Amino acid sequence: MKYGLIVVGGGAAGLMAGVVAARRGARVLILERGPRLGRKILVTGNGRCNLTNALADGVEHYRGGEPRFCYGALRRFTVADTLAFFDELGLPCVDGGRGHFFPRSDSAADVADTLDLAYRETGGEVATNARVIELIPGPPWIVKGAGGRSWAADSVILATGGSSAPRTGSDGGGFALAEGHRITPIAPAIVPLVLEGNFTHFLQGVRLQAGLRVPERGIEVGPAELMFAHYGVSGPLALQLSVEIGLDLERDYLRLELDLLPDIPHDEVSSVIRSRAEAHPKRELGNLLLGVLPRKVLPAVLRQGRGDPGRLCGEMTGEVRERLVGLLKSHPVVCTGTRGWDEAAATLGGVDTGEVEPRTLESRIHPGLYFAGEILDVCGECGGFNLQWAWSSGYVAGASASGE
């Protein structure tokens, strides 16, 4: 039996493509290697699913070999279209703060189930526990599954995801299915960073607003929340930086500078320290910034600079003060890598977008083959951008592959 369209991978992008194509009358089959559709959606946004972001129409929030590649798809299916689409399916979304949109029910499972229902209600067919192992270019395309099964279709969409969070089914195996296409180097993204030394060990569990810089690359992120862990740093600031430096970290260590007082300009920090020390000369130095920084931070910073947190503020010399300013505003740390694919929420790199038509997401190598989602060399920032890319690219691939 021949299908109009086979979608390989029933994640966010594959489900969107399936709904769009089935609504246009195509006979569609989604092949999903796992036991259910939308497994990765279930773990998004800590189970709440940050399904888009008010800024997600802007190409500047996405990384990849060709920064403007995603422009066409993002324009064709916008943030407003995403919100209207889910609303029409019966899943209203609300701004959970700073333009991060979540389903009103705060349930990622509701997003996966709503898409699954919409797809099946439109007549879409599904085979779960169906791992695709080979594509034979058509027409008709022959899609071979593990266990000797095979299917035929006029066109195929590859939506197998990247390599992040392999427990959800996307273990990078999909890249092999894109045979004939160049795969750009890949690296984990939106992932905690591993730092050298025991500075972060002292600060385990501490959260604060901070900034991070990579002087040799001219990169600066934040201010945003940073969380310290025994291995290094996590939280939105670290996750955002991983999008910028993930590929570099595959090759080498990177020197970073941590700004622990991002809301106080560099040249004002010295006078803040001096006036606090003058106001409280009998306090220990380790307590100088109590109320400004979390309690554990200043003693750890002082120890790093071989300062004594037990000395009195009134005894602080100008030299110690200036060293302290440097350690608070440009604290040097060495990043040795990331926590890897298991803890990553996204993939840097993927199918080379130079070999894909941006307007239709059709392969320039094999006509009739389309791509959608994380398998492509497009990686969004942290905060709803990657799902917006899954929705936009899924929409365009689904519409194009069903004859638009």
Residues near ligand FAD, by CB under 6 A: 8-14, 31-34, 39-40, 43-45, 49-50, 131-132, 159-161, 164-165, 168-170, 173-174, 345-346, 373-374, 384-387, 390
Q: How far is the CB of 219 from ligand FAD (least distance, A)?
A: 22
Report the candidate in 138, 124, 250, 268 with the shortest Cα–Cα distance to residue 187: 250
Q: What is the rounded CA–CA span in Å between residue 60 and residue 379?
A: 11
Q: How far is the CB of 120 from ligand FAD (least distance, A)?
A: 16
Q: How far is the CB of 10 from ligand FAD (least distance, A)?
A: 5
Toward ligand FAD, which CB reaches closer, 232 or 350? 350
Toward ligand FAD, which CB reaches closer, 99 or 294? 99
Strand 150-158 versus strand 2-8 pairing type: parallel
Q: How far is the CB of 347 from ligand FAD (least distance, A)?
A: 8
Q: How far is the CB of 85 from ligand FAD (least distance, A)?
A: 15
Toward ligand FAD, which CB reaches closer, 160 or 288? 160
Toward ligand FAD, which CB reaches closer, 333 or 369? 369
Report the candidate in 185, 134, 122 with the shortest Cα–Cα distance to residue 160: 134
Toward ligand FAD, which CB reaches closer, 163 or 402? 163
Q: How far is the CB of 289 from ligand FAD (least distance, A)?
A: 34
Q: Which residues contact 271 (CB under 8 A, 6 or more apart)?
A: none
Toward ligand FAD, which CB reaches closer, 144 or 283? 144
Rounded to whole angstroms, what are the CA distances from 226 to 206, 233, 234? Answer: 8, 7, 6
User: Which amino acid is located at 325 in the chain?
Assistant: V
CB atoms within 10 A of CB 204: 12
DSSP state of 98: T
Q: How far is the CB of 206 from ligand FAD (least distance, A)?
A: 23
Backbone angles phi, psi at 244, to 5 degrees: -80, -35
Q: How far is the CB of 21 from ligand FAD (least distance, A)?
A: 15
Report the candidate in 382, 54, 342 with the shortest Cα–Cα distance to residue 237: 382
Toward ligand FAD, which CB reaches closer, 67 or 310? 67
DSSP state of 168: G
Toward ligand FAD, which CB reaches closer, 55 or 272? 55
Q: What angle do CA 337, 342, 345 make, to 5 degrees?
A: 85
Rounded to whole angstroms, what are the CA distances from 32 to 6, 11, 125? Answer: 11, 8, 11
Note the residue count of the chain: 404
**What pairs with residue 380 in β-bridges?**
62
